[in-house]
Amino acid sequence: MLTRHSPSRGRGSPDIWGFYEEDTGSIQYVCADPATRKAALIDIVLNFNPAEARVSTESADEILAHVEQQGLTVEWILDTHPHADHMMAAAYLKEKLGAPMAIGTKVVEIAELWRGLYNLPDAFDPERDFDLLWDDGASFRIGELDVRVMLSPGHTLGSVTYVVADAAFVHDTLMYPDMGSSRADFPGGSSKVLWQSIQEILALPQETRLFVGHDYGAKGRDDIRWEATVAEHRSRNVHVMDGTAESDFTRIRDERDKTLELPGRMLHALQVNLRGGRLPPPESDGNRYLKIPVNRF
């Protein structure tokens, strides 16, 4: 798995490692306080093979090995939103580490939306399945590092950004500057709301390192990238650079989104992610089953 280290810039600045999961183009993060060696795991993937409906833990296990190698103690298992393109490994990691799982509080509203779409009125209880649900403006610590939670909806109605000193994990709002931004057409999404969330992110200090949730490569480069500063996004992000009008952004975003199919794992993943990364309970034959709505999208 492709891994890169973004080193601490000094006292009060986190060490960050990004791990690229090729099947879904997802970047997973370890964020650590250099002073205390305490860490958080952010948006870790539970691997899923759609052809066989088979889950596995190789990505999470590789990150656990990295944590051990670096001598880190994991204090938090964090997700930015219920991902549409991959299953989250939060429950597996909690079983291994005992650390609490957390996500934004609006996951409760997302669960309600998807209960209807799956016709599973009694499924999905985020207040039971996550240890903490963050409100906008909530704060906590990773070691001695202060963390602030920003509600950043648009991609989903409940996405959150984690701001850790001079770093921010901005999930599926922005892409790398040459790719612009992420889609806003999922149920509960909105390009207008996404624009507002991005503006709040770009109001962070210019030197803030922004870590995005995905990269799929871009024309003109042959590598995978996931880190750029606020200043770099404001000067050259193809969708939201300084001088871009909101109307132009929403038009470009909406036109692009109309051409996109749903992610191939979306209908599988959400019914797992809304359970905190747990598979549905076993049925009378002892097996677990995913439910796929037909002709709903």
Q: What pTM does this model have?
A: 0.96
240 DSSP 8-state letter: T
User: What is the predicted pLDDT for the residue at 243?
Assistant: 97
pLDDT tens profile 24-54: 999 999 999 999 999 999 999 999 999 999 9
pLDDT tens profile 10-25: 999 999 999 999 999 9
Report how far residue 18's alpha carbon sits from residue 30's, in angstroms, rounded to the nearest whole number: 7
Domains and CATH numbers, the chain: 2-273 (3.60.15.10)
pLDDT tens profile 156-183: 999 999 999 999 999 999 999 999 999 9
User: What is the predicted pLDDT for the residue at 92?
Assistant: 98
User: What is the predicted pLDDT for the residue at 222?
Assistant: 85
Which H/E stretch holds residue 184? none
Q: Do 19 and 62 form a contact (C-beta atoms < 8 A)?
A: yes
Residues 107, 112, 113: CA angle, nearest 5 degrees: 95
- The SS3 assignment for 233 reads helix
One-character DSSP codes across 119-137: T-TT---HHHH-SEEEPTT
Report how far residue 154's alpha carbon sits from residue 135's, in angstroms, rounded to the nearest whole number: 16
Confidence band for 71, pLDDT divided at 50, 70 and 90: very high
pLDDT tens profile 192-239: 999 999 999 999 999 999 999 999 988 888 899 999 999 999 999 999
User: How many CA within 13 A on the CB side of residue 23?
Assistant: 15
Classify strands 87-88 and 101-104 as parallel, antiparallel or unpaired.
Answer: unpaired
Mean pLDDT calculated for residue range 274-284: 96
Report how far residue 96's alpha carbon sits from residue 82's, in angstroms, rounded to the nearest whole number: 21
Instruction: Please state, rounded to an integer, the average pLDDT across all residues of the chain.
Output: 96
Helix ranges, the chain (H):
58-70, 90-97, 107-118, 126-129, 191-202, 230-236, 246-257, 266-273
